[in-house]
Chains A and B, each alone.
Chain A
Amino acid sequence: MSFLLIAEQVLNGLQFGVMLFLMAAGLTLIFGVMGLINLAHGSLYMVGAFAAAAVAGATGSFLLALIAALAAAALAGAIVEMVVIRRLYAAPHLDQVLATFALILIFSEGTRFVFGSFPLFLDIPDALSGPVTLPGGIEYPLYRLSLIGAGLAVAAGLWFLTARTRIGIQIRAGENDREMIAALGVDISKLYTLVFALGAGLAGLAGALVGAIQSVQVGMGEPVLILAFVVIVIGGIGSIKGAFIGALLVGLTDTLGGVFLPELFKLFMAPDTATQTGSALASMAIYILMSLVLIWRPSGLFGVRL
């Protein structure tokens, strides 16, 4: 296996990780500020992808599609927060899990009711299609590079928002002591709606960006949701930094595991069984990683609470 191939696979792992971060950031933000487990986060990702596909189909503009995805998911998030989620902040985790599980059912079948049972079409914009040659001679799709860029930009934006702005200070204060900041005159329920909408918008954006290279279909959010949970649990729930590192770890483990484990087994097994055993182990790899991390550090890598 050449060095070039390994480098390309590492790049693939990073790109997958950055995409996971977009999902995980919203999830961890919502948990950090409101202490809410939101299983319906994957549905907001799906809403974003469907909104993008619908708008791109009607207007032909990818930029408008992205804006629509962000807006639709944020709006859906804000509505859900005001109607349902708001009543769950004080409830035990169990009730949150159940209520948001119910939201998944409603969102999935509702989307199928509106858009039908067949997958929708969403394509990469022409300006970003095709491969480019990187230094060292790796041919890499431009769109995937743009995804890495977009993910890093969002990471930087989130850092700026939480560390440098007034609203960020309120968010961080809300994580620590919600009674106190309410006493200081911050409208806590408005702040919560805002944070929820922000997290939802990020999920919608991720759905639209990924939807362009994947299949826009009902149920697309659930596999990603599970991965995003793995990410934030590894990173430590509530920590944006943890989500970032966790996302990269999961992305690299999943991608490199899938490529190298079968090769590894071929060293001492028949190729046929090696491919199957290696692939089987690779599909379990990130869950093994997660349990190892939790056994070693029960609150994740950067988790402090709980």
Chain B
Amino acid sequence: MIAERPLAVLVLTALLAVPLWALAVDEPFTITLATRAAILALAAVGLNIALGMGGLVSLGHAVFFGIGGYAMGILAYHAQTYTPLEIFGLSIEGTKSMPVIWLVATLVSALAAWGIGLLSLRTSGVYFIMITLAFGQMFYYFAISWSAYGGEDGLSIYVRNGFPGVNTLVPIQFFALCFALLCAALFLNARLQAAPFGLALNAARQVPARVETVGLNPVRLKLVAFVVSGAITGLAGALFADLNRFVSPTMFSWQLSGELIVLIVIGGVGRLMGPVIGACLFVTLEHWLGGITEFWHVFLGVILLLIVLFARGGLVGLLTGKEGPHV
């Protein structure tokens, strides 16, 4: 058994050590895999704020992931073709600068999360799962038929966007950026959990009525959590698009929303390091099992089942010997 804080240090050190080792032995693809894990972990950290702290089982978080991806895709596309983006009568230049893209991705996802959250939070339980799924499907079908930006074919960005002082084309440097953002999001998440907001949100998840009696609005608390959550997932979407130098409607698909949930549950719902452990394990399994058999989904399914049935609280629960919060 191991306490949560040393576990966090251990996991992050491991995630940092693997690409450094890969750099030493010249295995650049392992760095790419680690980057993928870090980005998926970031997306799942975002979802975990809504899911673990707010109890909001969103099966539509791919919406924000996709919005982040398309924010990157559209801005970089206009920069790459030297055509300005015409919107609301304004003519905006595209950009290849990561900080600007990140800002736009975060803001637009937050805005979308606010709108979707406002409508969806009128429902609860299974209905909430389903209405978020419905929003996901709307964005998915919209993106497929949005021919200005490639429709189902998606958009290819030929060169990765830039960050001042960093050569993003070098895998290890791009990894470092993603890893830094992941750590920042984890730090934010930890601070939120300990802050009065986090405590109130926790209470709102368990007994909404009691929160109301002390004069707080549980729905508003959840809405704030949903917006923060969507913004972080959106940022991850922009990074994911940059990793692949490609965006497509599959970033909006319900399977992706499902996978994000899978990551969290494997790792441990509502646990700080749950999404990180889940993402690392998922990427490893995908890579390793996929190499062994083309029927690897069967084994992935069995592993998931075993985790749900016998490791309540996910791997973090198993390692720390404590069940996680109930959602």
Q: Which residue of chain A has its CB nearest to the CB of B122?
A: A298
* B126→A93 contact, CB < 8 A: yes
Name the prevailing secondary structure of the A interface residues.
helix
* A106→B295 contact, CB < 8 A: no
Binds A, one of B24-32, B186-194, B301-309: B301-309
Q: Which residue of chain A has its CB nearest to the CB of B305?
A: A102
Q: A290-B131, A306-B127 are in contact. Are A99 and B138 (CB under 8 A)?
A: no
Give the residues in chain A near B124, CB-CB below 8 Å.
298, 306
Give the residues in chain A near B120, CB-CB below 8 Å.
294
Among residues 254 to 280 in chain A, which have CB atoms less than 8 Å away from a CB atom of chain B? Answer: 276, 279-280
Q: Which residue of chain A has its CB nearest to the CB of B121?
A: A298
Report the 6 A-B pairs with minimum CB-CB distance, sorted nearest first. A105-B301, A280-B145, A102-B304, A106-B301, A283-B141, A287-B134
* A299→B305 contact, CB < 8 A: no
Q: Is B287 an interface residue (CB 8 A)?
A: no
Among residues 11 to 31 in chain B, which have CB atoms less than 8 Å away from a CB atom of chain A? Answer: none
Q: A229-B133, A294-B123, A295-B119 are in contact. Are A87 and B309 (CB under 8 A)?
A: yes
Q: Is A98 an interface residue (CB 8 A)?
A: yes
* B138→A300 contact, CB < 8 A: no
Q: Which residue of chain A has its CB nearest to the CB of B57?
A: A94
Residues of A at under 8 Å CB distance from B? Answer: 31, 37, 84, 87-88, 91-95, 97-99, 101-106, 108-110, 112-113, 226, 229-230, 233, 237, 276, 279-280, 283-284, 287-288, 290-291, 294-295, 298-300, 303, 306
Among residues 156 to 200 in chain B, which have CB atoms less than 8 Å away from a CB atom of chain A? Answer: none
Give the residues in chain B near A88, CB-CB below 8 Å.
308-309
Residue of A37, A112, A276, A290 touching B126 (CB-CB under 8 A): A37
Give the residues in chain B near A106, CB-CB below 8 Å.
297-298, 301-302, 305
Q: How far is the CA of A113 from the CA of B125 in the complex (A)?
A: 36
**Could you tell me the distance in whole angstroms from the C-beta of B295 to the nearest C-beta in chain A?**
5
* A284→B302 contact, CB < 8 A: no
**Could you tell me the distance in whole angstroms from the C-beta of B132 to the nearest C-beta in chain A?**
10
Q: How far is the CA of A180 from the CA of B200 in the complex (A)?
A: 36
* A226→B127 contact, CB < 8 A: no
Give the residues in chain B near A87, CB-CB below 8 Å.
309
* A105→B130 contact, CB < 8 A: no
Give the residues in chain B near A112, CB-CB below 8 Å.
295
Q: How many B residues touch A, CB cutoff 8 Å?
A: 45
* A276→B134 contact, CB < 8 A: no
**Could you tell me the distance in whole angstroms from the C-beta of B73 to the nearest C-beta in chain A?**
18
Residue of B119, B122, B145, B304 touching A99 (CB-CB under 8 A): B304
Q: How far is the CA of A106 from the CA of B302 in the complex (A)?
A: 7
* B127→A93 contact, CB < 8 A: no
* B133→A226 contact, CB < 8 A: yes
* B122→A94 contact, CB < 8 A: no
Binds A, one of B76-84, B223-231, B232-240, B254-262: B254-262
| A-B pairs with beta carbons under 8 Å apart, 16 shown | A84-B309, A93-B126, A93-B327, A94-B261, A97-B261, A98-B304, A99-B305, A99-B309, A102-B305, A102-B308, A106-B298, A106-B305, A113-B298, A237-B126, A294-B130, A294-B134
Residue of B119, B129, B295 touching A37 (CB-CB under 8 A): B129
Beyond A95-B265, A99-B309, 18 additional pairs, beta carbon < 8 A: A94-B51, A95-B308, A97-B261, A98-B304, A102-B308, A105-B301, A105-B304, A106-B298, A113-B295, A230-B130, A233-B127, A233-B131, A291-B134, A291-B135, A294-B127, A294-B131, A299-B123, A299-B127
* B138→A294 contact, CB < 8 A: no
Give the residues in chain A near B258, CB-CB below 8 Å.
97, 101
> Most chain-A CB neighbours within 10 Å: which of B127, B131, B295, B300?
B127
Q: Is B326 an interface residue (CB 8 A)?
A: yes
Q: A94-B327, A102-B308, A287-B134 are in contact. Are A237 and B127 (CB under 8 A)?
A: yes
Q: How far is the CA of A109 from the CA of B298 in the complex (A)?
A: 6
Q: A95-B308, A97-B57, A226-B254 are in contact. Are A284 and B127 (CB under 8 A)?
A: no
Q: Is B147 an interface residue (CB 8 A)?
A: yes
* A291→B131 contact, CB < 8 A: yes
Residue of A110, A113, A290, A299 touching B134 (CB-CB under 8 A): A290
Q: How far is the CA of A99 from the CA of B308 in the complex (A)?
A: 6
Q: A92-B326, A103-B301, A294-B122 are in contact. Are A98 and B127 (CB under 8 A)?
A: no
